[in-house]
Homo-oligomer: A and B are copies of this chain.
């Protein structure tokens, strides 16, 4: 079982960013990525050689293994300091609370600075717009140009520095917390790109939010802080600890964004976790509270506030917040918000898919990558231009201002708007001389709805929570105003008159719509913390639950939708009470045709298994007859075994031995060389183990290793050899068909003493002989306890176990015998495909995806055959080629 986590982590995913890069660019992207990998791989392999097999290593020795933390001079300085401080620090710094306080502090500062900058940006826009009062055209130009420039800068800056910073970040965090390693998602570059990009994007006044990005920023901060702290102590490299810290960081992100510690913890749990460890609870609360506290204290110190209060404080009456008979209206808000939330998610996905599918648009936008953000911004800001259409939808108010006015505790419809609203100047924006306040609200809701859905597809760091929250508040306000107009003296029939409070409806609407879009209940708590009042708890809870019920039955959550669009690995939730799923067993969904290797197989079997399959790990069974499962081996391990066997150094040794047998004079040289080979093999094993330990540090998954030498090929080619260079390389023809290169390039440099005088046919014959030898698994890292299920395990239980342990696949065994395998793919298909299954007997959807599984492997097989035919012309008949894409599939 222990190795499954690392399998999962090593799971590769196609890096298709939703907005930042389009799929057609992947070729270019792959090249850049490859160059980067090559470079860092070289550095890594050097540093990793220094590392010992890490059992019992003390914290100090570990430091040298992390090349990313600091540049060399800085590290020197730090290590001088460290020696002095270590005795004290080592005992203190390792404790979680120090880390959490630092994290909270940094994030509060970041949040406050970002807010401050955004406020300045928004003020600047207002000032420009106000200053050009005389000329309407100039005013329009100023109003429109400002956001276009900011958004374009944000998009360009993010694109150049770190395209990973684009979008919300919550979907990626959910994937990372599931145990998948997303490269480059937690680097300093991304941090800078995200913070600056977000500030500019929000400063433009577009309907975008800061919540999602703040979850990402907090996680980045935690990862960087963790790396920094690992200078002082070793525990920061522990994988499970890092996951715990990231979970706490997500809570901090939401907490310091809204000054809502409790809501932050709960919201982050709901959107990022499937199973939550209660022992992490306090971490989230502690860090989020501290962060929210500092965030608000900064406001007090800055004289913005007199004391610590809520961000959008409301002043509803406490004695009689609402009447029991108003509850149906709240329920209506909930249900309507549910539909609205589902529509928002659908609309958002539709826009992305439309742009992706329309090839002409796509091509055009690809060329001018910043055109799309600019166009969208232009459209949105034109429509909100206050003297233009904006006058009918309170266009001159920023997001925060609209929210404050919407949550106001006075009624707009009944009382005279003009007089009352001089008090708070902003609320006047809702009043139009010709048009009713109801029309303004309806227009605001409709326009903001599609604008927000559109704006969140812009490739800048941005969230959708806040825009949705404001739309929800507006909708609630609309219902509230209607109720107030309908019952001017309140519904309550007793002696005292309690007028209806439309602001309360706005609170309910905001919680309900944002809950529906994100599929969370904790928006209720966020709302209480944002407004500082909990008097409407029951209406809010009822509306949020109803909105969730409706939205969850119609659409995935916004974050799950983005996960699917971005093709991140995921496991769908089991639906609401789809009890028919309890009747499906693992035996119904498992793949029975398992690829396996036996303990006494020869290298030829290994070769054919590697060539046919595309699984990340292969099962190791005792023998084909007994099928007793002994463990699982990673593909990369087998590939290295095979490459070892067919390596040039072994061939050179063979040549040497042959020469020795012939000439009886070179025996001592061959000795020293074989030792070298053995040493390298043990290094390889060390590498595997050391990557298992640290996942947050951007180590590439071990299985990717063979790619690196492939990119090194040109250097190999430069060496003058006697062999024809075209298809056959120095080492392993059979192997070449697997990797298109040799993984032991380093070995080439130290066997110049013997000349490789073998002909092509001799090499092939030698390789044939090598392939017939029995595999020696001693140098190979075997996971001795891969996760196992039984045939009769229910789908429900399988789902639970997969999501609990973050599994990628599990073997199905029957009394020790391997009979099948279930991967995330099968499980996903079973859950998504079996919605219509009733009872046990009806299994067409299950059968269908089992078939589709076969058909997909068939198409792969034909592709393989094509390749095989191509390679056949240049290589020997016995060797069969495989496609390079093998590495990436599954």
Contact A56 B95 (CB under 8 A): no
A266: chain B residues within 8 A (beta carbon): 266
- The reply on A309 being an interface residue by CB < 8 A is yes
From A199-207, A271-279, A675-683, A759-767, give the one contacting chain B: A271-279
Task: Give the CA-CA distance A319 to B788 in the complex, in Å.
Answer: 59
A785:B796 contact, CB within 8 angstroms: no
Shortest CB-to-CB span from A577 to chain B, Å, is: 4
Complex: how many Å from CA A537 to CA B2?
42
Q: Are B784 and A816 in contact (CB under 8 A)?
A: yes
A218 at the interface (CB under 8 A from B): no
Cβ proximity bits A724-760 to B, threshold 8 Å, 1 near / 0 not: 0000000000000000000000000000000000000
The smallest C-beta distance from A547 to any residue of chain B, in angstroms, reads 11
Q: What is the bound-complex CA distance between A249 and B5, given in angstroms?
A: 33
- Does A622 interact with chain B (Cβ within 8 Å)? yes
- Residues in B with CB closer than 8 Å to A816 are 622, 628-631, 784
Does A463 have its Cβ within 8 Å of any Cβ on chain B?
A: no
Let me know if A2 and B793 touch, CB within 8 A: yes
A545 vs B789: C-alpha distance when bound (angstroms): 41
For the complex, give the distance between the alpha carbons of A538 and B535 in Å: 18
Q: How far is the CA of A55 from the CA of B281 in the complex (A)?
A: 40
- B788–A785 CB distance below 8 A: yes
A36 within 8 A of B: no
Q: Are A788 and B840 in contact, with the CB atoms below 8 A?
A: no
State A860–B744 Cα separation when bound (angstroms).
59
How distant is A631 from chain B, measured CB to nearest CB, in Å? 5
Complex-state Cα separation, A582 to B815, whole angstroms: 33
- Whether, in the assembled complex, A705 has its beta carbon less than 8 Å from a beta carbon of chain B, the answer is no
Which chain B residues lie closer than 8 Å to A269 at the CB level? 278
Q: In whole angstroms, what is the CA distance A297 to B542 when docked? A: 14
- Best-buried of A545, A631, A783 by chain B (most CB within 10 Å): A545
Mask for A553-593, Cβ within 8 A of B = 1, else 0? 00000000000000000000110110100100000000000
**Distance between A535 CB and nearest chain B CB, rounded to angstroms:** 6
Question: Known: A278-B274, A528-B534. Contact between A2 and B320, CB under 8 A?
Answer: no
A300 at the interface (CB under 8 A from B): yes
Which of A151-159, A234-242, A388-396, A430-438 is found at the contact surface with chain B?
A234-242
User: CB-CB contacts of A1-28 with B at 8 A, as 1s and 0s?
Assistant: 1110000000000000000000000000
Partner of A282, one of B233, B521, B783, B815: B521
> Is A58 interfacial (CB-CB < 8 Å)?
yes
Residues of A672-718 contacting chain B, CB below 8 A:
none
Nearest CB of B to A560, in Å = 13
- Interface presence of A805 (CB below 8 A): yes
Residue from B542, B789, B794 in contact with A785 in the complex, judged by beta carbons closer than 8 Å: B789
Given the interface pairs A262-B525, A277-B275, A782-B815, the reply to whether A1 lies near B541 with Cβ below 8 Å is: no
A858 within 8 A of partner (CB): no
For chain A, residues 786 to 809, give those with C-beta under 8 angstroms from any C-beta of chain B: 787-790, 792-794, 796-797, 800-801, 803-805
Q: Given that A307-B323, A537-B529 are known contacts, is A789 also in contact with B840, CB under 8 Å in the complex?
A: no
Contact across chains for B278 and A307 when beta carbons are under 8 A apart: no
Q: Is the CB of B494 within 8 A of A306?
A: yes
A845 within 8 A of B: no
Contact A292 to B1, CB < 8 A, known contacts A273-B278, A279-B574:
no
Residue A379 lies at the interface, judged by CB distance under 8 Å to chain B: no
- The B-contacting residues of A in range 625-642, CB under 8 angstroms, are 628-631
A538–B274 CB distance below 8 A: no
The reply to whether A278 and B277 contact each other, CB–CB distance below 8 Å, is no
Rounded to whole Å, the gap between the CB of A281 and the closest CB of chain B is 6
How far apart are A282's CB and chain B's nearest CB, in angstroms?
Answer: 6
Q: Which of the listed residues A320, A534, A549, A797 has the most CB atoms from chain B within 10 Å of its own CB? A: A534
Task: Kindly state whether residue A312 has any CB partner on chain B within 8 Å.
Answer: no
Set of chain B residues within 8 Å of A492, measured between Cβ atoms? 306-307
Chain B residues with CB under 8 Å of A790's CB are 1-3, 783-785
Tell me whether A97 is interfacial, beta carbon within 8 Å. yes
Contact B784 A55 (CB under 8 A): no
Known: A269-B278, A318-B313. A289 touches B538 (CB 8 A): yes
Closest B residue to A293 by beta carbon equals: B538
B235, B307, B533, B535: the one contacting A309 at CB < 8 Å is B535
A286 within 8 Å of B by Cβ?
yes
Residues of chain B lying within 8 A (CB to CB) of residue A782: 815
Given A307-B322, A576-B96, A797-B240, also A787-B1 (CB < 8 A): yes
The reply to whether B279 and A276 contact each other, CB–CB distance below 8 Å, is no
Residue of B296, B310, B804, B814 touching A804 (CB-CB under 8 A): B804
Contact indicator A235/B579 (Cβ below 8 Å): yes
Q: Is the Cβ of A840 less than 8 Å from the Cβ of B95?
A: no
Decide if A321 is an interface residue (CB 8 Å cutoff).
yes
Interfacial chain B residues near A318, Cβ < 8 Å: 313, 315, 532-533
Given contact pairs A241-B582, A805-B804, A292 touches B576 in the complex (Cβ within 8 A): no
Q: Contact mask A275-317 → B, CB, 8 Å, 1/0?
A: 1111101100110010011001100100000111110010100
Interface hits, A101-152 → B, CB 8 Å: none
CA A505 – CA B407 in complex, angstroms?
A: 29
- On chain B, the residues within 8 Å of A261 by CB distance are 537, 541
With A784-B816, A796-B238 in contact, do A321 and B297 touch (Cβ < 8 Å)?
no
A753 CB, nearest partner CB in chain B, Å: 39
A880 interface residue (CB < 8 Å to B): no
Inside 8 A of A96's CB, which chain B residues have their CB? 576-577
**Does A262 lie within 8 Å of B537, measured CB to CB?**
yes
Least CB distance from A118 to B in Å reads 23
Instruction: Determine if A524 is an interface residue (Cβ-Cβ < 8 Å).
Output: yes
Judging by beta carbons under 8 Å apart, are A532 and B535 in contact? yes
Kindly state the separation between the CA atoms of A285 and B262 in the bound complex, as whole angstroms: 15
Residues of chain B with a CB closer than 8 A to A55's CB: 792, 840
B contact residues around A240 at 8 Å (CB): 794, 796-797, 800
Contact A277 B274 (CB under 8 A): yes
Q: How far is the CA of A76 from the CA of B538 in the complex (A)?
A: 42
Measured in the bound complex, the distance between the Cα atoms of B317 and A533 in whole Å is: 11
Cβ B538 vs Cβ A308 within 8 A: yes
28 A–B pairs (Cβ distance < 8 Å), ordered by A? A95-B577, A96-B576, A96-B577, A97-B576, A235-B582, A238-B796, A240-B796, A241-B579, A262-B524, A275-B804, A276-B278, A282-B545, A285-B541, A289-B545, A297-B324, A300-B324, A306-B320, A307-B322, A307-B492, A308-B322, A309-B320, A310-B535, A310-B537, A532-B537, A622-B816, A629-B816, A785-B813, A801-B805
Known: A240-B796, A279-B573. 14 other contacts (CB 8 A): A1-B787, A2-B789, A3-B790, A55-B792, A56-B841, A94-B579, A241-B579, A261-B537, A282-B545, A296-B538, A310-B534, A528-B534, A628-B628, A630-B816
CB within 8 Å of B: which residues of A? 1-3, 55-56, 58, 94-97, 233, 235, 238, 240-241, 261-262, 266, 269-270, 273-279, 281-282, 285-286, 289, 292-293, 296-297, 300, 306-310, 313, 315, 318-324, 492, 494, 521, 524-525, 528-529, 532-535, 537-538, 541-542, 545, 548-549, 573-574, 576-577, 579, 582, 622, 628-631, 782-785, 787-790, 792-794, 796-797, 800-801, 803-805, 813-816, 839-841
Across the A-B interface, give the 9 residue pairs with the lowest CB-CB distance, nearest first.
A785-B788, A630-B816, A235-B579, A95-B577, A289-B541, A96-B577, A2-B790, A534-B534, A784-B815
